[in-house]
Structure 1
Amino acid sequence: MQTSPNYLTHHFLIAMPHMADDRFDHSLIYLCDHSAEGAMGLVINQPSDLSLDDLLEQLAPELSGRTRQTVFNGGPVEPERGFVLHDGERRWESSAELGPLTLTTSQDILRAMACGEGPQQALITLGYAGWGAGQLEQELANNVWLSCPAEHHILFQLPSGERLNAAARTLGIDWTLLTSQAGHA
């Protein structure tokens, strides 16, 4: 009997302490999509030095100065491309429904956010994390990541510095007690 693959869309990936890639050290990733073709996610706990105001200075200077919302380093792929992960029913020029959330890549959402007309809860990133077919599955098998179902309050209500530990706690793990040292029996 054929079993269906266990894809992890709408899950968190928690970087293990022995993560060899510095770009993902201490990372918590929200998986927007995971299928046989690969996976795409956003790092949600690495704030950049930029704010929404900084982006608006370039895109719509007349709207800058209205919000200091943090922009996150979403991952190493296309770091110049913006993504807004958000809740709500409204759709924007370029939105993809992710089930419980929406991912928007068009500038109209940023303009609306500056005017107080955007989604109630939103996370802005530049760049994303991507995996080719089978790559994430191999990394999971090699214990590079832990996974757990994503929780809305961790995404949008906790300060970024608390998100990794909170996600690990949903698995009953204290991330701060994990070690990068491997033992031998």
Structure 2
Amino acid sequence: MSNLYVMEAANLYCGDDDPTKSKHLTISNLRLPSLEELFQDHHPGGSRVAIEVEVGIKKLEPTFKLVGFDPDLLAQFGLGSRARRVFTAYRVIRDKLSGLAIEHKAIMEGRLGKITEDEFKRGDLAGADYAINEVYHYEIWFDRKEVLYWDFKTQTHRVNGEEPYRTENAILRIPGTV
């Protein structure tokens, strides 16, 4: 049966070490990273037609926008800290057919790598755009079930609980995956 899921609300925690880091009152935009494969063109000498060959996945770069000024996040920027932090996004997804609210959660470990403040204009609500860079860990959960899990350090990658690269990791003797 077909579903109709609609995103209704979002919140972001910028540092899971402190429950006061909720941005529910200031978040206006949240974009989880694009999931995009990398391809290289290959045109063999013996073929009239070129093809694309998948060679990996592009880096992950989540972004968000907050209204107002946020000195806590300014202190997390690269000049104030070289450490990666855990950012957790929560979204309310509404099943429009049943009316049920479903939790969608994204866990990201990265560095706050970009802050672009809006131009100040009297009468307008200014804020800033933020980017999370150097993402080393990414998880997606839907309705309390893990959908996607990736960790750079261990090279663990799961989709719906399955590890599609388990064999490759075992062949390469990657610690923690053998």
> Higher strand proportion, which one?
2
TM range (shorter): under 0.3
Q: Which protein, 1 or 2, shows the higher relative CO under an 8 Å CA cutoff with sep ≥ 6?
A: 1
Q: TM-score if structure 1 supplies the norm length?
A: 0.26
> Higher helix proportion, which one?
1
Structure with bigger gyration radius: 2
